[in-house]
Structure 1
Amino acid sequence: MTVLSHTIQPEEQGMRIDKVLASLNEDASRSQVQSWIKDQLVKVDDEPIKSNYKCQKGATITWEIPEPEVLDVIPENIPLDIIYEDSDVLVVNKPRGMVVHPSAGHGSGTLVNALMYHCNDLSGINGILRPGIVHRIDMDTSGLLMVAKNDKAHVSLVDQLKEKTVKRSYEAIVHGTISHEVGTIDAPLGRDPKDRQKMAVVDGGKHAVTHFEVIKRFENDFTHVKCVLETGRTHQIRVHMQYIGFPLVGDPKYGPRKTLEFDGQALHATVLGFEHPTTGEWMEFEVAPPEDFENLLEKLEKMS
């Protein structure tokens, strides 16, 4: 088990401990945290507590995170659209509908299952469930991902992400007509306090910046946009565009119920650029959106 600790801060005074712990564990839901408390894996000043415990400034929370259920990741012969590959890195164009790595409910058919069949050498830094995975895109987002084939390459690529030198550009189709040509959304993101399965703009969230540029406006109140990530938070583009009033077409989590027919959010990772971890050479790749995305643009053109 992993054991962590946290000293309760003045701003956390009086907050329920399950809420505080959920904010400290980005990958854990509030119900998961409550199960840890029920199993007495959470203590305050070495004493077990209940979920409704109100935090007291200066007290120390310690908690044990149970080992995840071990999933046997099996290589699967799934076709991959590989854009580039050498002994250090691999760049793949992920199709919409494919999960990046195995998780509860997605034990097979993932990008990792396909990568393990394709190549024997993937970095092990992220463990057995995420070999080679440096960053992710959502299941229903298509486009470019970089994969590390050894630990040295993995460290280099992660450092570039932290330093914000990786170029990541997306295309999206959103509801509404964006009047200005370019803009920047600088709004912190964290778990939605009303729905732990969603992200939201929240005070105290993680720094998140998205730049956008209008590609084309359609007369029927839709806009085709380019979005460039400065940071890479969970669901960042989807939440940021919804926050400024232009949710993505087809987004089942953040978009309106009445939307155009599309299988998931209309979002595609078009451009990916980074410094090669061994040679230092700048490498940049670009792939056009998939056919269903292009068909949607044509449909909007005809509707205008």
Structure 2
Amino acid sequence: MRFKLTFVANEEAAEMRLREFLHLKGISKRTLTATKYDGGLLLVNGIERDVRHVLKSGDEVTILFPLEQPSIGLHATEGPLTILYEDDALIIIDKPPGQSTIPSRDHPDGTVANFVAGKFARDCLPATVHVVTRLDRDTSGIICIAKNRHIHHLLSQQMIHDGFHKQYIAIVEGHVDRSNFMIDAPIGRKEGSIIERMVRDDGQLARTEINVVNRFTVEGQQLTKVALVLLTGRTHQIRVHMQWAGHPLAGDDLYGGKLSLIGRQALHCAAIEFSHPLTGERVRFESDVPLDMSSLIFSRII
């Protein structure tokens, strides 16, 4: 089924060209170009018009988006998905640890994107998988996926303008002294590595808010449960910032954490909040911490 949006031109839109009106409604120039050349339609009161058409108050404007083609390189496969929410615009997934978000050379199949593509095919939805938020393979929690490029664009704009919030729970090594603080330290690629990042003066702006939830000890190892809010979205941001602060994530051996208590970085995306791209309503989705982390958290709280 073709995705479409309908708007009604108010008095302020009278004498406005269709192109300008749609721009005010968040339709990007790229989307308009694709609509024009890739099989979409612009309708005013049910009649096809071009972007230079001048509107009148009360006109009903409909944009029929072109049908999307599933990504050729993404294999649509059947697999389990924990769906927290779904509508015509987006789908919210709760990802377990150990599953990649998108295919890679080492993990070409069995990813969230593969399974979502399989669901789209089963539902006869002509769309590719637009991953709005992604998580590392060993990070658990919430992923947001858009069902078309326009919704992806709108959500990406919210991220740029601080309207899209992501909250994480982590278990870090040691007892963190400060209860509430922010790390403001730029992050860049570590020299000689294509994977690791590090705090470096010439890196990209990176800010993380940290709030201590509780401090505890397990098998003689001091640990702290922290709640974190990403104010920017750099690769491995939480892992790098906590290592830099002297408190690497438990299980994160890439950044100095020990594997004795948990076999992966103890990091979980517990909540996301944003304005729904179609209704404008603020929505929030939450996910419980998985068993491997919760068993540590409740072992012994002091």
User: What TM-score does the superposition give when structure 2 sets the normalisation length?
Assistant: 0.71
Partners of 2:94 and 2:141 within 8 A in 1: yes
Contact 2:120 2:127 in 1 (8 A): no
User: Any residues of structure 2 matched to 1:61-140 within 5 Å, and which?
Assistant: 72-120=73-121, 121=125, 124=128, 131-140=129-138
Whether 1:298 aligns to 2:281 is no
Residue 142 of structure 1, aligned match among 140, 143, 154: 140
Alignment correspondent of 1:191: 189
User: Which amino acid letter does the alignment assign opposite residue 79 of structure 1?
Assistant: P
Match of 1:156? 154
- Deviating above 6 A after TM superposition, structure 1's stretches of 4 or more consecutive aligned residues are none
Identify the match of residue 173 of structure 1 among 131, 153, 171.
171
Separation in 1 of the partners of 2:150 and 2:288? 30
Counterpart contact for 2:253–2:259, Cα < 8 Å = no
Give, in angstroms, the shift of residue 111 of structure 1. Answer: 0.6
Cα shift at 1:118 = 1.3
> Residue 28 of structure 1 aligns with which residue?
none
Does the residue aligned with 1:91 lie in a helix, a strand or coil?
strand
CA contact 1:93–1:143 (8 Å) conserved in 2 = yes
Aligned-residue Cα RMSD (Å) equals 1.7
Cα distance in 2 for residues equivalent to 1:146 and 1:122: 18
Give the paired residue count.
226
- Give the fraction of aligned pairs with identical amino acids, expressed as a percent: 38
Distance change >3 Å, CA 122–CA 236, structure 1 → 2: farther
- Which secondary structure does the structure 2 equivalent of 1:237 belong to? helix
In structure 2, give the amino acid aligned to 1:260: S
User: Does the 8 A contact of 2:211 with 2:226 survive in 1?
Assistant: yes
**Distance apart, 1:298 and its partner CA:** 2.5
Please give the alpha-carbon distance, in whole angstroms, between the structure 2 residues aligned to 1:190 and 1:152.
30
Aligned-partner residue type, residue 285 of structure 1: F
Residues in 1 aligned to 2:102 and 2:88: alpha-carbon distance in whole angstroms: 21
SS in 2 for 1:260: coil
TM-superposed CA distance for 1:291, in Å, is 1.4
SS of residue in 2 equivalent to 1:153 = helix
Aligned to 1:273: 273
Seen in structure 2, the aligned counterparts of structure 1 residues 123 and 199 have a Cα distance that, compared at 3 Å, is farther
SS at match of 2:195: strand
Specify the alignment match of 1:216 in structure 2.
214
Q: What letter corresponds to residue 247 of structure 1 in structure 2?
A: P
Unmatched 5+ residue regions in structure 1? Answer: 1-69, 125-130
- Cα deviation digits, residues 36-64 of structure 1 (max 9, x gap): xxxxxxxxxxxxxxxxxxxxxxxxxxxxx
Name structure 2 gaps, 5 residues minimum: 1-70
Q: Aligned-pair distance for 1:259?
A: 4.1
Q: In 1, distance between residues paired with 2:152 and 2:209? A: 26
Alpha-carbon distance in structure 1 between the residues aligned to 2:261 and 2:77: 31
CA contact (8 A) 1:248 1:265 kept: yes
Of structures 1 and 2, the larger Rg is shown by 2
> Does the Cα contact within 8 Å between 1:122 and 1:149 map onto a contact in 2?
no
Give, in whole Å, the separation in 2 of the partners of 1:275 and 1:197. Answer: 32
- Partner residue, 1:206: 204
Paired AA for residue 221 in structure 1: Q
